[in-house]
């Protein structure tokens, strides 16, 4: 035998064009079937599967008889057409097969903890719990779906590089071991061995480094950046995640939005071949909240709110009479009581006191709060026969957000969500947010975001009404990106710190390096970061970002494949001057 022959092509790439050619293939045995002496092996590699036929009495027959699923083998043979009636339209190579002349086992395999072959045959993969999948991630990663997702991710990232390079951006790396970079989350800390008692922080984002790069003259920076945030676990978060981070100098908000729209359209076209119309619609924060109850509204369906605060003001219905806001949602369906109860539970989970409702049945308003509805409601809200109106009243933010959650639930329940990629900008965010728990103003985006200069005069007197030059890119109701124009003047940055309750001394101690940089001549600048994992999940049609990350953490923040986090040797701790309390 003339081994070692080298691989001539990928299994999944063999087609009718190769009929009559000799090929050498290397890959995994996706499935082996023994049909009365004739052996079929579906050989798999990253490109797909290909049927290999081993005739009885042929040289490779004895070895083919021995191999099992997931063994790694090398096959030499000749490509031929399958008889038409045996063609398999579910796989790309379904019109051909390879008749083996030699077969060599490169490595044997134990039985897998779960089967991964079906997806490659165009069938549904075995249903396996995510726990098992993540613990056995190497096996799981063999599945076709994950191969596709990771390749989509690669396509997405290379498209970003192409586009931004053509627009004059340069990629610069920033450190992992650094000082705390506040983005509103807890830091992951790394103890210093050389300076016991001191800690590095892993960056929550490259924010301050990219700003300092702007001060240093590196206009148009980008980075596919890993970020680390020790946040409380939410369903779709990872403690370490990836951003497309970018920053530009001498720009206005318009410039940043324009560049990002074109980039978004480009990457969608490059990855999925879809045309995205430009420009993206824009909503102010106030509009988004008032109409859809979310600062990342899902605009794939309607169901906009109507403000009926004035209608009920001072009226008979006590719960609504003095509420800061009363918002109504007209539902084009006669919702049964059970559905309304379920929706009320959604509203309450977001802090609403309740979900009031009326319906029009047989011409009359019935049920719920029907007897409290003032006639003037109809000027604002036309409830037609068979429709249901839902109401939430209370403090403005809580009311709109809880009705917003009801709206999303209705979108799903009533099947209103259109497929496709729906982009929008939300702009004019407030600069500051009132922190109920600590009874103080805090930043909405981060402390380096520029106030809208038109509102600056209110910064002390009425902080809540100051808008920021901050913007979010929304895709199908999820936040695909967020950024801002930054403060580039030291005096304004100092004022901002003061407004946030960060005294001069603390500002100097924590952000002295930034303030100093700003005092050496800083250009106006601004940028954005995209949540890359969520972006790819959206493009891949996946619900969870864990499906587009090779080695994700589970919902508890653990990486069960290698077993992280784990305890470490006492020697290691001693070296760091650390003792763990029981």
Rank residues 527 and 552 by Cβ distance to ligand ASP and give the closer one.
527
Residue 158 token pair: 């290379």
Residue 527, interface with ligand ASP (CB under 6 A)? yes
Give the shortest CB-302-to-ligand ASP separation in angstroms: 29
DSSP 509-566: HHHHHHHHHHTTT---EEEEEEEHHHHHHHHHT-S-GGGGSSS---TTS-BTTTTBS-
Residue 348 token pair: 């309450």
What does the DSSP 8-state code read for residue 95? Answer: T
Residue 529, interface with ligand ASP (CB under 6 A)? yes
Rank residues 398 and 486 by Cβ distance to ligand ASP and give the closer one.
486
Q: Going by DSSP bridges, is the β-strand pair 325-331/305-307 parallel, antiparallel, or unpaired?
A: antiparallel
**Interface with ligand ASP (CB under 6 A), residue from 42, 70, 117, 183:** 183
Coil, helix or strand at residue 106: strand
Q: Give the integer Cα–Cα distance in Å for 284 and 428.
A: 5
Per-residue binding string, ligand ASP, 291-330, x by CB under 6 A, is ----------------------------------------
**Interface with ligand ASP (CB under 6 A), residue from 205, 223, 388, 499:** 205
**Interface with ligand ASP (CB under 6 A), residue from 18, 207, 249, 493:** 207
Rank residues 180 and 388 by Cβ distance to ligand ASP and give the closer one.
180
Give the shortest CB-445-to-ligand ASP separation in angstroms: 6
Rank residues 60 and 527 by Cβ distance to ligand ASP and give the closer one.
527
Phi, psi at residue 363, to the nearest 5°?
85, -20
Task: Give the binding range for ligand ASP (CB under 6 A) out of 139-147, 314-322, 368-376, 524-532.
Answer: 524-532
Q: 155: Cβ–Cβ under 8 A, 6 or more apart, which residues?
A: 270, 271
Q: Give the integer Cα–Cα distance in Å for 446 and 453.
A: 17
Other CB atoms within 10 A of residue 535 CB: 27
Rank residues 204 and 306 by Cβ distance to ligand ASP and give the closer one.
204
Coil, helix or strand at residue 240: strand
Residue 48, interface with ligand ASP (CB under 6 A)? no
The dihedral through the CA atoms of 99, 102, 107, 109 has a sign that is positive
Give the shortest CB-222-to-ligand ASP separation in angstroms: 11
Give the shortest CB-306-to-ligand ASP separation in angstroms: 33
Rank residues 97 and 183 by Cβ distance to ligand ASP and give the closer one.
183
Give the footprint of ligand ASP on residues 464-493 (CB under 6 A).
482-484
Q: Are 67 and 73 in contact (CB under 8 A)?
A: yes
Q: Residue 132: which of 141, 142, 140 has the closest Cα?
A: 140
Rank residues 117 and 183 by Cβ distance to ligand ASP and give the closer one.
183
Q: 107: Cβ–Cβ under 8 A, 6 or more apart, which residues?
A: 71, 72
Q: Using CB under 6 A as the criterion, which residues of the chain lie in contact with ligand ASP when the complex forms?
A: 183, 205, 207, 482-484, 527-529
């Amino acid at each position: 035998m003339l081994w070692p022959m080298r691989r001539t092509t990928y299994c999944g790439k063999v087609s009718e064009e190769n009929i009559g050619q000799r090929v050498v293939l290397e890959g995994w045995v996706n499935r082996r079937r023994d049909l009365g002496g004739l052996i079929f092996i579906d050989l798999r590699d990253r490109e797909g599967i290909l049927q290999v036929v081993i005739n009885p009495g042929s040289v490779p027959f004895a070895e083919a008889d021995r191999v099992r699923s997931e063994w790694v083998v090398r096959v030499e043979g000749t490509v031929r057409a399958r008889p038409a009636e045996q063609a398999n339209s579910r796989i790309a190579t379904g019109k051909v097969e390879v008749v083996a002349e030699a077969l060599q086992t490169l490595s044997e395999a134990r039985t897998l903890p779960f089967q991964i072959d079906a997806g490659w045959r165009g069938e549904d993969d075995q249903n396996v719990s995510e726990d098992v999948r993540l613990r056995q991630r190497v096996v799981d990663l063999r599945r076709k779906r994950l191969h596709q997702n990771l390749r989509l991710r690669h396509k997405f990232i290379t498209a970003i590089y192409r586009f931004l390079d053509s627009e004059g951006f340069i990629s610069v790396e920033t450190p992992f071991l650094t000082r705390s970079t506040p983005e509103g989350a807890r830091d992951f800390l790394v103890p210093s061995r050389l300076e016991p008692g001191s800690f590095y922080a892993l960056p929550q984002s490259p924010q301050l480094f990219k700003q300092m790069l702007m001060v240093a003259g590196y206009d148009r920076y980008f980075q596919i950046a890993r970020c680390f945030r020790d946040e409380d676990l939410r369903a779709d978060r990872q403690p370490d995640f990836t951003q497309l981070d970018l920053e530009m100098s001498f720009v206005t908000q318009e410039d940043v939005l324009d560049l990002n729209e074109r980039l978004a359209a480009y990457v969608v076209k490059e990855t999925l071949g879809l045309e995205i119309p430009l420009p993206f619609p824009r909503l102010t924060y106030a509009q988004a909240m008032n109409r859809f109850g979310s600062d990342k509204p899902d605009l794939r369906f309607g169901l906009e709110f109507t403000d009926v605060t004035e209608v009920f003001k001072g009226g008979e219905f006590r719960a609504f009479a003095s509420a800061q806001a009363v918002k109504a949602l007209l539902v084009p369906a006669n919702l049964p009581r059970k559905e309304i109860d379920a929706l009320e539970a959604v509203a309450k989970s977001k802090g609403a006191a309740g979900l009031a409702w009326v319906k029009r049945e047989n011409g009359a308003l019935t049920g719920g709060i029907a007897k409290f509805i003032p006639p003037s409601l109809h000027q604002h809200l036309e409830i037609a026969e068979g429709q249901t109106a839902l109401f939430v009243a209370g403090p403005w933010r809580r009311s709109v957000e809880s009705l917003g959650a009801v709206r999303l639930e209705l979108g799903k329940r009533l099947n209103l969500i259109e497929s496709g990629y729906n982009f929008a900008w939300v702009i004019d965010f407030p600069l500051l947010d009132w922190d109920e728990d600590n009874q103080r103003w805090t930043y909405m985006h981060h402390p380096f975001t520029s106030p809208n200069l038109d509102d600056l005069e209110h910064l002390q007197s009425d902080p809540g009404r100051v808008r920021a030059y901050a913007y979010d890119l929304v895709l199908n109701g999820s936040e695909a990106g967020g950024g801002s124009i930054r403060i580039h003047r030291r005096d304004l940055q100092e004022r901002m710190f003061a407004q946030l309750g960060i005294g001069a001394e603390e500002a100097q101690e924590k952000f002295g390096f930034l303030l100093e940089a700003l005092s050496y001549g800083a250009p106006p600048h601004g940028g954005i970061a995209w949540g890359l994992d969520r972006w790819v999940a959206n493009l891949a049609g996946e619900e969870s970002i864990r499906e587009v990350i090779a080695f994700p953490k589970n919902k508890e923040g653990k990486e069960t494949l290698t077993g992280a986090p784990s305890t470490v040797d006492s020697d290691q701790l001693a070296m760091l001057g650390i003792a763990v309390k029981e």
